[in-house]
Every structure is written in C-alpha cells, then in structure tokens.
A = this chain, B = another copy of it.
Amino acid sequence: MEPELRQMRYFVAVAERRSFTRAAEDVYVAQQALSQQIKALEDTLGVRLLDRTSRRVELTPAGAAYLADCKRLLSAAGRAAQHARAVADGEAGKLRIAYTVTAVYETLPALTAHLAARAPRLKVETREIFASDVCRMLRDERCDLALAPRAGYPKGIARRTVRREPLMAAVGDGHPSAGAPAMELAGLRDETFQLWPRDMAPGYYDAVAGACRAAGFEPVLDETASGSNAWAGIAAGRGVNLVVASLARQLPRGITLVPLTEPAPVLRLDAVWRAEHPHPAVSRVLDGCAELWPGERTDGVSARPASP
C-alpha cells in the first residue's frame, strides 16, 4: 500500500497537536481512527513516526523529517489544485498566440500588454505565421489562438472580429500622391499592387481586392510580391498597396502612407481558435479585445466557447 494524503493530513494533525485525542477533534474523526491510520502509515513506511509514551506523543527524528515533507506535500497539493483551477479559468498557464504580420504593429502589442496587466500569471507566447497556416497551427495544437485578417475557415475553427482598422495607401516617397492629406482609392486604379498571392493571405487579399472592386476597378498584381520584397517594390516606385494604418508605427524606409477618403476601406482582424476544445484563456482574450476595441458586435459567428 502507498501512503495517502489523508494519512498525511492525520499525521500532521497529530504531530502538531502532540495528541491523538485532540487531533481527532481537528479532523472530525474518532481518536481510534487516527491510531489506526497512523499505524497503517507507519507500517507502509516501515518507520516509527511517533513515540507514544502514554500521556504524551513525541516525534521521532524520522517523524520530524516526514512531518516537514508532509506539510510541503499537502500545501503543494493544494497549490496544484488552485493552479489547475486558475489554468481552467484562463488566469494562469501558457497561451500560444500566432499572428500575421498585420497584427504586429498595434493589435498584438496592445493585446499582450492588456493580458499582462489583467492576467499576470498567464504566460503568453507569440509567434508570427502566414495566414495560410492559421488553420493547421490551430488543428495541430501548435497554437491556441490566432490573430489574422478576416477569412473563412472550415468547421471546427471559430473566429470573431476583434477590431477594424482603416486601410491606407502605401506609396513610394516619390509617388505623386505622397504627402497629400488624403486621396481617392480609385486614383490607384492604374497602379500595380504589391499584394501577396491570395493563397498565402486570403483574408488580406480579399480585403484589399474587395476595396478596389468597391472603388470600381480590379487591382493589377505584381505576382512577384511577397513579404519584405513588396516594401522594396513600393519604395522603388514599382507599385502601391493598401496597408493598415498602424503600419505607421514601423514604416519602412522610402514609403509614405496616404489616408483614403471616405468611405475608407477597413481590414477586419479576427481572433481565431479551435471551436471544440478552446484554450480556457481564449474567452479572456475575447473579453480583453472587446474592452480594448469596443464597437465590434460580440454576438458574432462564434460569440464565445461553449462552457461544458
């Protein structure tokens, strides 16, 4: 037989009260039960823990050592339970957030700062990914939550728009519109768009292309555009693009942002997570986003993970 925490609780009670009878009151059992259980504990350990001298109970050296260990174990067991509850409530534990580059300028840092303040025991790990990998990362349990431009996902993946960010025109510094207070999106109809291929970033692609179509033209793409290469192309005057306003925080050299006249197109940023077994902190993140960026409807596609 193995020692049990109940026996340790009994032993601690007896050791601290230095009496079976009084300890029995503390743990709400009869004195005889304590005698039996502590005897059983001693038998399983093969060690005498207490010297009963009829009239007084004394710890043996081994008992004193075991007492200290028992106290540690009991408090550790209690803390483990508390920690499990905290993790289940999303207050503690580890949350792996994957994000697309669009979120990095403002959305992600605002969110992580908010979480650090609201749930300091929650360890947030972040990782930049391509929008095309969101689904796989979530399904393979390689992340718990993703931030990406609004896109469609297969069943089993839930999402909610957490904020809308205005899109601005990104042009080279030498572009005729550079420095203008604002411009019409339609003014870019003859430009080449340094937009990533749709299969790499479908949500972003659809947002930009959709805005262009709403402005009455179909954007012409530079099929070689991808990643930082696109910035270089724009800076070199080989095209333009629409980008989130917060890019201004880390504007690449040679590029100027020009606001677009109303109705200015927006990019919807979604939180995306597993619908079936969502990480418990996801609902906290959604709450935090609703607080950071009010105005989004909170009864969206998947308002929040169903509670069990």
Q: Residues of A with Cβ closer than 8 Å to B? A: 2-6, 9, 44-49, 51, 53, 58, 60-63, 65-66, 69-70, 72-73, 76-77, 79-81, 83-85, 87-88, 92-94, 144, 276-277, 279-281, 308
Residues of chain B within 8 A of A73, CB atoms compared? 73, 76-77, 80
Q: How far is the CB of A96 from chain B (nearest CB, A)?
A: 10
Of all chain B residues, the one with the shortest Cβ separation from A9 is B2
A46 to B222, CA, bound (A): 56
Nearest-CB distance from A140 to chain B (Å)?
A: 13
Dominant secondary structure at the A interface: helix
Q: Are A85 and B45 in contact (CB under 8 A)?
A: yes
A4 touches B6 (CB 8 A): yes
Q: Which of B2, B4, B9, B84 contacts A69 (CB 8 A)?
A: B84
Is A85 in contact with B277, judged by CB distance below 8 angstroms?
Answer: no
Q: Are A277 and B60 in contact (CB under 8 A)?
A: yes
Chain B residues within an 8 Å CB radius of A281: 61
- Identical subunits present: 2
Say yes or no: A3 contacts B58, CB within 8 Å: no
By a CB distance below 8 angstroms, the chain B residues around A61 are 87-88, 93-94, 144, 279-281
A78 to chain B, nearest CB (A): 9
Partner of A76, one of B2, B60, B63, B69: B69
| 25 A–B pairs (Cβ distance < 8 Å), ordered by A | A2-B77, A3-B77, A3-B81, A4-B4, A4-B6, A5-B5, A46-B85, A47-B85, A47-B87, A48-B308, A49-B84, A51-B277, A60-B88, A61-B87, A61-B93, A61-B280, A62-B93, A63-B84, A65-B92, A69-B76, A69-B80, A69-B83, A73-B77, A73-B80, A76-B76
Chain B CB count within 10 A is highest, among A61, A70, A72, for A61
- Judge whether B70 and A80 touch: CB under 8 Å: yes
A85 proximity list for chain B (CB < 8 A): 45-47, 62
A190 CA to B236 CA in the complex, in Å? Answer: 115
CB-CB under 8 A for A87 and B62, given A5-B2, A5-B3, A6-B4: yes
Instruction: For A49, list chain B residues within 8 Å (CB).
Output: 84
Q: How far, in whole Å, are A44 and B78 apart by their CA atoms in the complex?
A: 12
What 4 additional pairs, Cβ within 8 angstroms, besides A3-B5, A47-B85? A44-B81, A61-B87, A61-B144, A72-B76
